[in-house]
Structures are given as structure tokens and as C-alpha cells.
């Protein structure tokens, strides 16, 4: 297994120089470089390992795990106002028993509640169930790192990144990979289940109603060009207060999903 906290002696999240296992928290932002001694709300299979890794799934099949920052964020500048710009960054890794097969991935989640007790594992990724998938009453924004193709959700392949609203059907998606540090650099594919440590960035521009998602190997700086871009006004989706966290689930294949560091901030 390649996932190791030794790969992250120093992470830079939103300008915070955070050594491993340190945390910085303010009213509108937080940053974790490792999760030892943190007070995240965990459920299902989610746990913090002795090494300080956030392990969302432990290899058990057909189960789900969630981890949320304990306090909600007010994403609107004023009651009834537009959702403000925000940015998230996290370092992740996925380990599977099989080198070319895994299920079902990780979702970064912005939701009105931390309670996903009725959500299903497997292809529902701990986010929804057969009855409420896609319902506008869910008020959920998610970015999926999806490692299994589900035709029912119109997935493009078994190794993609998607922008999701209120369910598992992506409004925009792209095969997993990254561009270089120049706008003209070519696309480089990457396997989400390689066991390698990677980093993701999720950025919402409130003025443009634009969502950008970027991934890259952890040793790279943020690529100049996002992997996925979607125009979607989150002011019609998100409520006054939202919780920020992760959801992950397994299906019939032994897989482990890890978060090694994480930051979030309202711009």
C-alpha cells in the first residue's frame, strides 16, 4: 500500500503553512494536515487511523462512511443572498485489492445535514437512495471521484471526476487526469485507484456561478487548467447553512478510501 502519512511532512492549504497533524480553524475557513486529535463528526466505517489518516472505508464491502466538519458554514453573505465563492482542497488516496478494479469512490460534499443514515452504499456512494436520488429537496452539491461506471447514472467510465447536484448523476464530468502548469499543456490521464497520493481542488465562483474541479499528483502545484468546469448557480441549491465533508462507500470489492489533508474557505 502506497498511502503513507510520511509523504506529507508539509502541506500548504489556502496559504496556511501546516505541518502534518496540525489544524487551523477560523470562522470562515479551516485547514487540516492530518486528522489526529481532530473533532470531525464520523459515522459508518469512517475513522482516524493511529497515523492520522482519515479512513472513510476500511475494506469491508457494501458499507459507507462519512466525515464532516462539526459546525455548519454560512455560505450566503446575507440571509437570502447569493452563495459566496468558496474553495476546498484535499489530499486523497484510494487502495483496492485489485489493480484495475475498485468501487465506488469518494465524494466531497456540501449538504444541509450531516445525517445520511438513509443513504445507500455501493453506487449511491453514501449520498442518496433509490427514492431521493436527484430530488431538489436534497440541497446537496458534491464532487465525485468515481471508480465504477454506473449506467443508471450515465457515468462516462469507471475512472472519472464529476460535478453533482442533489444526487449521483453528474451535470458535468471528465475522465480522471490533469493538465500541466501551462494552459497549452496536454491532458495526462491518471488512475484514481493507483494507490498514489493525489490532490483535488474544488472552487466555486459566486459571481460567475462557475464550478471548477482540478486534480493532480500530490507533488504538483495546482494545474493552470481545471479538469472539469460547470456553470451552475449554487444559490438555487444550497440552504443558508451547509455542512462540509466527505462521503464514501464500497460495493462488492474490497476498497479503502483515504483523506490525508483538507482545507476549506469562504472567499
DSSP per-residue string spanning the chain = ----GGG-SEEEETTEEEETTEEEEETTEEEEES-TT---EEEET-EE-TTS-EEEEES-TT-EEEEE-SS-EE-BSSTT-PBPPEEEEEEEEEEESBTTB---EEEEEEES-S--TT--SGGGTTT--TTTTT-GGG--EEEEEE-S--GGGT-S-SSEEEEEESSSSEEEEEESEE--SSTTPPPEE--TTSS--EEEEEEEETTTTEEEEEEEETTSPPPSS-SEEEE--GGGT--SEEEEEEEEE--SS-EEEEEEEEEEEE-
What percentage of the chain carries pLDDT values higher than 90? 78
pLDDT at position 184, please?
Answer: 73
- Compute the radius of gyration of the chain from its Cα atoms: 17
CATH number of the domain at 5-266, please? 2.60.120.200
DSSP 222: P
Which tens digits make up the pLDDT trace of 117-136? 999 999 999 999 999 999 99
pLDDT at position 183, please?
Answer: 67
What is the chain's mean pLDDT, rounded?
Answer: 89
Which tens digits make up the pLDDT trace of 65-85? 999 999 999 999 888 899 999
Q: Which grid cell is 148?
A: 465504477
Is 201:229 a contact under the CB 8 Å cutoff? Answer: no
Closest to 247 in 3D by CA, of 80, 92, 22, 85: 92
pLDDT at position 5, please?
Answer: 38
> What's the CA gap between 110 and 245, in Å, rounded?
7
> What's the CA gap between 84 and 203, in Å, rounded?
11
pLDDT at position 24, please?
Answer: 66
Is 65:46 a contact under the CB 8 Å cutoff? Answer: yes
Where b means 16+ CB within 10 Å and e means fewer, 62-89 reads ebbbbbbbeebbbbbeeeeebbbbbbbb
Closest to 168 in 3D by CA, of 218, 130, 137, 202: 130
| Residues of the chain scoring pLDDT < 50 | 1-22
pLDDT at position 174, please?
Answer: 98
pLDDT at position 23, please?
Answer: 63
Amino acid at each position: 500500500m502506497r498511502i503513507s502519512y510520511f509523504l506529507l511532512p508539509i502541506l500548504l492549504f489556502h496559504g496556511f503553512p501546516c505541518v502534518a497533524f496540525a489544524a487551523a480553524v477560523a470562522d470562515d475557513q479551516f485547514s487540516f494536515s492530518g486528522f489526529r486529535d481532530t473533532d470531525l463528526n464520523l459515522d459508518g466505517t469512517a475513522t482516524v487511523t493511529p497515523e492520522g489518516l482519515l479512513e472513510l472505508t476500511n475494506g469491508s464491502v457494501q458499507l459507507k462512511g462519512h466525515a464532516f466538519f462539526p459546525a455548519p458554514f454560512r455560505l450566503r453573505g446575507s440571509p437570502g443572498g447569493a452563495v459566496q465563492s468558496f474553495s476546498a482542497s484535499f489530499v486523497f488516496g484510494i487502495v483496492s485489492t485489485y489493480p484495475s478494479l475498485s468501487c465506488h469512490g469518494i465524494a466531497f460534499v456540501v449538504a444541509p445535514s450531516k445525517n445520511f443514515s438513509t443513504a445507500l452504499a455501493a453506487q449511491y456512494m453514501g449520498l442518496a437512495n433509490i427514492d431521493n436520488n436527484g430530488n431538489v429537496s436534497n440541497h446537496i452539491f458534491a464532487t465525485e471521484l468515481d471508480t465504477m461506471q454506473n449506467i443508471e447514472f450515465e457515468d462516462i467510465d469507471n475512472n472519472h471526476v464529476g460535478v453533482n447536484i442533489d444526487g449521483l448523476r453528474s451535470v458535468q464530468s471528465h475522465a480522471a487526469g490533469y493538465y500541466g502548469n501551462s494552459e497549452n499543456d496536454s491532458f495526462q490521464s491518471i488512475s484514481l485507484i493507483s494507490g498514489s497520493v493525489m490532490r483535488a481542488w474544488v472552487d466555486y465562483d459566486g459571481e460567475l456561478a462557475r464550478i471548477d474541479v482540478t486534480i493532480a499528483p500530490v507533488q504538483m502545484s495546482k494545474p493552470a487548467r481545471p479538469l472539469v468546469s460547470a456553470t451552475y448557480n449554487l444559490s438555487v441549491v444550497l440552504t443558508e447553512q451547509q455542512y462540509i465533508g466527505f462521503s464514501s462507500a464500497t460495493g462488492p470489492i474490497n476498497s479503502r478510501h483515504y483523506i490525508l489533508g483538507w482545507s476549506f474557505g469562504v472567499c
